[in-house]
């Protein structure tokens, strides 16, 4: 029996050693000892997204791996980041119960970095559909608003806020043509954690994308209506063919002046203004 265990231990050690050599040489990169990266899908200031395969599951199905990094790995920030990461991961598990939101398969910390393993949505984002100069018909705008609002209704019922609605975070499935909402922003707060000279923890900047961000979110206090503002901005964008930050604002009210650039009914224009 002792000899069998010795042989098994030697075999295991040799296997791990060989795996380490392969990883070092760049042939295999397993995240969490399980997820093999295929290619990088995108990167931000302190985060990266990968297309990967789950080597533990039959057929090695593809998934999305999101890596979130702290700008500075110090104990006080790591402790705060762990709290945020755990709380927001639980929200993502609940949100993934909706068929038009990617499922979260796993979340974990490795070497002070934080990882999300999510369902791969097989489709294309809406950036091309929102190309500069393209104006949609009113029927298409109404259909788009209805689709996103139905998903947001579920999100807000879970006491969650997306905080970064924009064309690239909306994916149209290749097969059934349904829209999916991806890349919920709250968990990304750990990337913006800072500590000042007094030892107080805060955030370096608000979450979200400026062109679609309402004032309350820019001030660090987002509400569910902040998502509606972002959706309204996208509606104005496809109605006019211009990015929201390319349109003039009224100097007295600071409201966008865009009606003369659109070919839609006054009713829809009022709805978009209200959002």
Worst-scoring range by mean pLDDT, 64-68, 74-78, 119-123, 188-192?
A: 188-192
- Rounded-to-integer distance, Cα 65 and Cα 32, Å: 10
With a CB cutoff of 8 Å and minimum separation 6, the contacts of 147 are 178, 179
pLDDT reported for residue 23: 43
Name the E strands within the chain. 30-31, 35-43, 47-54, 62-68, 104-110, 113-119, 123-125, 170-173, 179-181, 193-195, 201-203
Q: What is the pLDDT of residues 234-273, one digit of tens each?
A: 999 999 999 999 999 999 888 899 999 999 999 999 999 9
pLDDT at 123 > cutoff 50: yes
Residue 61 phi/psi, 5° resolution?
A: -60, 150
- Rounded-to-integer distance, Cα 86 and Cα 81, Å: 8
Distance spanning both ends of the chain, measured CA to CA: 72
The pTM of the full predicted model, rounded to 2 decimals, is: 0.84
Question: Could you give the strand order of the β-sheet that contains 170-173, starting from the edge strand earlier in sequence?
Answer: 123-125, 170-173, 179-181
Beta bridge mates, 125: 171
- Is residue 176 flagged as an active site residue? no
Q: How many C-beta atoms lie closer than 10 Å to residue 79's C-beta?
A: 10
DSSP 143-184: HHHHHHHHHHHHHHHTT-------GGGEEEETTT--EEE---
Cα Rg of the chain (Å, integer): 22
Helices 266-274 and 138-157: crossing angle, nearest 10°? 30
Q: What is the pLDDT of residues 175-228, one digit of tens each?
A: 999 999 999 988 888 877 777 777 777 777 788 899 999 999 999 899 999 999
pLDDT at 72 > cutoff 80: no
Active-site residue among 125, 164, 183, 227?
A: 164
Q: What is the pLDDT of residues 127-157, one digit of tens each?
A: 989 988 789 999 999 999 999 999 999 999 9
- Find out whether 161 and 188 touch, Cβ atoms under 8 Å: no
If you count DSSP H runs as helices and E runs as strands, how many of each does the chain have, helices first? 6, 11
Q: What is the pLDDT of residues 1-26, one digit of tens each?
A: 444 434 444 433 443 333 443 444 44
């Amino acid at each position: 029996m002792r000899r069998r265990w010795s042989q098994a231990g030697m075999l295991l050690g040799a296997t791990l050693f060989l795996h380490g050599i392969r990883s070092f040489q760049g042939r295999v990169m397993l995240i969490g000892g399980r997820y093999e990266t295929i290619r990088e899908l995108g990167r931000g200031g302190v985060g990266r997204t990968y297309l990967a395969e789950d080597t533990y599951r039959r057929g090695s199905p593809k998934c999305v791996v999101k890596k979130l990094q702290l700008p500075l790995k110090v104990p006080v920030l790591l402790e705060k980041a762990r709290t945020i990461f755990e709380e927001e991961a639980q929200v993502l598990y609940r949100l993934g119960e909706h068929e038009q939101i990617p499922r979260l398969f796993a979340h974990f910390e490795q070497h002070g970095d934080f990882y999300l393993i999510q369902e791969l949505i097989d489709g294309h984002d809406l950036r091309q559909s929102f190309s500069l100069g393209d104006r949609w018909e009113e029927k298409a705008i109404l259909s788009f608003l209805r689709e996103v609002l139905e998903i947001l209704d579920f999100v807000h019922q879970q006491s969650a806020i997306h905080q970064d609605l924009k064309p690239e975070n909306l994916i149209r499935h290749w097969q059934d043509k349904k829209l999916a909402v991806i890349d919920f922003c709250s968990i990304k707060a750990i990337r913006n954690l800072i500590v000042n000279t007094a030892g107080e923890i805060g955030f370096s900047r608000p979450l979200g994308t400026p062109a679609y961000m309402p004032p309350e979110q820019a001030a660090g206090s987002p509400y569910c209506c902040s998502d509606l503002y972002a959706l309204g901005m996208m509606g104005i964008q496809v109605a006019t063919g211009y990015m929201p930050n390319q349109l003039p604002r009224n100097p007295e009210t600071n409201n966008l002046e865009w009606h003369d650039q659109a070919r839609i009914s006054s009713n829809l224009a009022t709805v978009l203004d209200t959002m």
